[in-house]
Structure 1
């Protein structure tokens, strides 16, 4: 047997100066989804504003939720198997009014299949002439709708489609879409054309993004040119890349979509600015407490989705699966424009006549008032049959409770309605334009505690068959004897040059039940290291001197807490101190090699040999981003023979070819607590990921060398 061997030899790594690798994983369980479905509204039969009766090609159905903690919830199941398309649309009675501010909140479930998931779903605004039957159209007959369309984007299964207008014409027309894409569709090159699997070229794996499906400007054309002879008198094939606007990814949790959890989505439409803000994962799926979430705001040109200037759009969700599948489910909390309400929660320290904010402090036995405000702002119908599901703040002994309405009536709440810290009642009156406000008021006293006690934030929901809304109360602290208020009086955020020191100044105000104010100290912690405790002066002031040697490059965090000898503590105050830092390569191999490899006559990947080094030093502080870009020259022998193949950068989702064009391969957000100023890129590589050498089947034996150039950009990808 004839054996040929290839040794890919010396690589000269040139370095220039300048994110996040996205991975995903998956599994599927519809019973789990229904058993944990959050509280939602009724959408079947009794709701004339939404329908799954769209097209006979749709698999969408309505089923009842099976979570006993979410009574009356119904779930739209868009897909639950292979090779499906599903859609749910607003009816003519439920249009999205483009001239009014709108808000939509829903829960999404995209299965738990992680890396095996496919394909995802999309929220869509449209004025397609097919109305409820709107879906992508294609002249190429296939068994099922290409999965990468998600039921809304253009169909890229015709390799002869030579114009971006042609691909846009196959999408849902006059539309804007927000996609939740669970599968990486990133095939490119000669085998990509006609396979509808290229929209994510250059993208991370799992992502959320938006654009106009029926606009040619939403697509980039990729061409495979076979040349005059290779194409038998000139032949070209075409495939298309989707341009992703308003991108959301999750570096720390790359499988953040199809991960077996319900995800809350809030959409806010600013009619005057014509901006759409979408916030993902802004509620805890178990407690329904508010979370910061991840958000983007994009401008929507209404002329593109409403060319007839009707000032309205049909809205809904679409989803697709292929041989890669997942459950795509939606629970609705409200219908835009049907019932527009605002709900909020607050706690007032009656003795001090002030509203509590996060980590505000009260004293034992202080009188506290907890209020939940329900405000009806607009709508097509009253908000009726409102049920409360409130987890009341702990640490309070409640003495009275009532509901007051804007037209003057009062609904008494028996204290025995509070069971296990929960308040579940039905409001006696509906809210409407003529009775627009209701306040649930509970009065009590802070519990007597022997040491400082933290009362966590608490959530409450207000539900009906047509509208769900929620309100949270802030976390606060109960002190046994004294209330300490720590305030920084010097610059709260300080910027210094390297080696420069500073002094942080502040004061502590004490409100005490004791005859004399207790002795108070301030405990400073700098970047997690305890500093010497400082005694507060009689006038309440204190100083924390810091030298240049104590401060690190980048972001420093000085945490200050005041404490009395009786055990009372203040809220924690964080003082950010920035010392000028830099972004640079910490280590780069000057030359490296790949393994000697036996040629097989087929495409193969050659692994690295030796201890490759590639590390980034970023001392600019937590939250700074950088992107690593790579490019490669042709690999040649000493006599100029060009190797048939090229270096590639491989992660869990992509094989990125490295050629003469600089290509982003990794984006990273610095976290001082994890990175300690240095991120070792090479140590994140496995034998099958990182820089490898891809050899084509026609590669010839020889010793080749070439250059890889790394570029570091101080910006996201």
Structure 2
């Protein structure tokens, strides 16, 4: 038999560095999800705007949240078992207008199966003729998990045309999927299995496209070689992908995830933010963002200006709890909430990281504002979370309409710093604003006491608004004020000493400053005539960021608010070890695509001395591999970077393959990238079936950027 061999010869690896581009289990999981459910709206059947009663094939149902801190929350359980499909759709009364700006916010729970998940959840806009009965349809069998309840069904090995596949999806639709499963089969194993949409590029991810558009699907062919008999399967084109290479279980991690979707009708774009609120505290956080161009003519062929919106979900061979909590119904009510905290004793507003004294009187004004909508904002339940170390003395609710009398609330209704009270009046165009005012006193303390932010919510059957109280500090009545007079922040050259100076008032006798540098306590510094000086040697300072926390302390133990001084000692991001030349294993060509393993001990390590919290991303680019002999053929294939959950092609354009957040406490900021590779992960060579035998050589260029990609 004729044998072909391939020897991937030496590689020249160039370095580029720059700062510019620098079970019972399922039940317990459900119990946990319901017990930790964030605040959402009530899914009212008598005045319904959405429904889970969509089709006989749907397993969706509505459950009561079990979190005492979020009363009145309904949870739409789209799937809770194996091989299920579930859907929640808006009714005509809750339709989505394409000709107005819209906002939808919700909480998603995607199970706790991590990378073992198979399905996920999708947010969908659609005008399918089946209405609330819309779903992927091809046979009476269970809907495959990879469809996430909206994409086409790819289980027919003889189906060769993307158009036929697209016709099995929800029609006239756009979808944003939260895909917890990795559908990455390829070749023979992908044929007829409905498990190849993710191809070789994506592990668990968020992405979007048009399910009924044939251009969403890319045909792949498996040629059996016998009588030219071909079988087909499809990959899916993903847009606006959000994923986490280092934490592929970032979706199905047993936590609630907040999602905000904003439609800009003039730009015809829908932006989405994921994890933009803390699921425990409700506080706002940066989250991850992207946006999509959504063409109305692809959703609304009859130009009605309206689409149906909702969520679909699927599960695979393992039970998955795919749950949704809605915070609003778009277009019905547009409203917002705000909080103003005022220190009445000091006659000034209390803002984030502000300071109060024990015994000060505070006024908390929770302001609800009706902007517009097709209905009034009515039957509003206020769930107030009051700050700790605060005792309320009076609570009133007033309305903008002067003809409406104030609503008095008893302070005895406050339990464990929480109060639930229903507003007596609705908000509308004639009565746009209500203010819930809480007046009380700050508790006395013996030492500086931080008060963490807490989240209050205002919810109804159509809208939920959340507002955070500011983080602040309670000082003992001594009211010490420490100020730093030297540079803060300060930038220092490597090997440089510095001196931190400051003042403390009032200038009491026996005052001292307690410094803590990078978590290590330093000797106390005496305060003389209200001034202090703290010298720091170069040996005490580490490369990168140094945090110096200062507190002034009296002889009686009273403390000032902490003051942080940031000292940045110049550090650098660089490769500490890179192989200048390496090889792949000599391999016999089989006529099939294959992955060729590395030969030898590849070296690739990065050292970051810029400080804890600094981020960097490793990118790779490769030239085409060219045969060394006379024919000079180009290899049909390319290097790939393989992890447990994805395979990233290394092409001529630099591609992010690894990201890291520096921790100085681990190996002094050094990361051995190649040391973490197994034989079947890291850099491998993907050789396709059409490759010719020969010795090939090419160049892989590694680069570092000082920000995640």
TM bucket normalised to smaller: 0.7 to 0.9
CA distance, structure 1, for counterparts of residue 272 and residue 63 of structure 2 = 26
* Matched residue, 1:183: 181
Cα 1:275–1:522, aligned 2, differ >3 Å: closer, same or farther? Answer: farther
Cα 1:165–1:647, aligned 2, differ >3 Å: closer, same or farther? Answer: same
* Matched residue, 2:321: 327
* Pairing partner for 1:460 from 456, 481, 503: 456
Deviations for 1:545-571, whole angstroms, at most 9, x for unmatched residues? 888887766x52444535253633235
SS of structure 2 residue aligned to 1:38: coil
Deviations for 1:296-353, whole angstroms, at most 9, x for unmatched residues? 3444444443454433321100112233551212122221222332122332111222
What is the CA-CA distance between 1:148 and the residue it aligns to?
2.0
* Deviation larger for 95-104 or 166-175: 166-175
* Matched residue, 2:352: 358
CA distance, structure 2, for counterparts of residue 70 and residue 113 of structure 1 = 25
* Deviation larger for 454-463 or 6-15: 6-15
Is the contact made by 2:639 and 2:686 (CA closer than 8 Å) also made in structure 1? yes
* Matched residue, 1:43: 43
* Pairing partner for 2:238 from 232, 243, 268: 243
Determine whether 1:624 maps to 2:615. Answer: yes
Q: How many pairs does the alignment contain?
A: 690
* Matched residue, 1:567: 558
TM-score, normalised relative to structure 1: 0.80
1:486-565 aligned at under 5 Å gives the runs 499=494, 510=505, 555-565=544-554
Cα 1:454–1:66, aligned 2, differ >3 Å: closer, same or farther? Answer: closer
Determine whether 1:410 maps to 2:410. Answer: no
What is the CA-CA distance between 1:89 and the residue it aligns to?
0.9
Cα 1:186–1:485, aligned 2, differ >3 Å: closer, same or farther? Answer: farther
1:633-644 aligned at under 5 Å gives the runs none
Determine whether 1:429 maps to 2:425. Answer: yes
CA distance, structure 2, for counterparts of residue 8 and residue 525 of structure 1 = 59
Determine whether 1:92 maps to 2:92. Answer: yes
CA distance, structure 1, for counterparts of residue 644 and residue 398 of structure 2 = 57
What is the CA-CA distance between 1:119 and the residue it aligns to?
0.6
CA distance, structure 2, for counterparts of residue 91 and residue 635 of structure 1 = 60
Is the contact made by 1:152 and 1:172 (CA closer than 8 Å) also made in structure 2? yes
* Pairing partner for 1:342 from 330, 336, 360: 336
Is the contact made by 1:359 and 1:571 (CA closer than 8 Å) also made in structure 2? no
Deviations for 1:674-717, whole angstroms, at most 9, x for unmatched residues? 664322113333566445789999x9xx9999778352353755
* Matched residue, 2:262: 268
CA distance, structure 2, for counterparts of residue 148 and residue 491 of structure 1 = 56
Deviations for 1:356-414, whole angstroms, at most 9, x for unmatched residues? 22221111222211222222222333333333332311222333222222224222222
* Matched residue, 1:21: none
Cα 1:665–1:558, aligned 2, differ >3 Å: closer, same or farther? Answer: closer
Is the contact made by 1:119 and 1:147 (CA closer than 8 Å) also made in structure 2? yes
SS of structure 1 residue aligned to 2:467: strand
Deviations for 1:190-231, whole angstroms, at most 9, x for unmatched residues? 543544323223434222223333445545x354485xx947
1:380-391 aligned at under 5 Å gives the runs 380-391=374-385
* Pairing partner for 2:390 from 381, 386, 396: 396
CA distance, structure 1, for counterparts of residue 278 and residue 244 of structure 2 = 17
CA distance, structure 2, for counterparts of residue 216 and residue 601 of structure 1 = 30
How big is the alpha-carbon RMSD for the aligned residues of Structure 1 and Structure 2?
4.8
* Pairing partner for 2:578 from 560, 571, 588: 588
What is the CA-CA distance between 1:526 and the residue it aligns to?
6.1
SS of structure 2 residue aligned to 1:569: coil
The answer for unaligned runs of 5 or more in structure 1 is 1-5, 19-25
1:72-471 aligned at under 5 Å gives the runs 72-138=72-138, 141=139, 143-158=141-156, 167-189=165-187, 191-215=189-213, 218-219=216-217, 221=218, 223-224=220-221, 226=223, 230=225, 232=227, 237=232, 239-245=234-240, 247-250=241-244, 253-408=247-402, 409-471=405-467
SS of structure 2 residue aligned to 1:310: coil
Determine whether 1:654 maps to 2:646. Answer: yes
What is the CA-CA distance between 1:479 and the residue it aligns to?
0.7
* Deviation larger for 605-614 or 346-355: 605-614
Cα 1:564–1:216, aligned 2, differ >3 Å: closer, same or farther? Answer: farther
Cα 1:485–1:204, aligned 2, differ >3 Å: closer, same or farther? Answer: farther
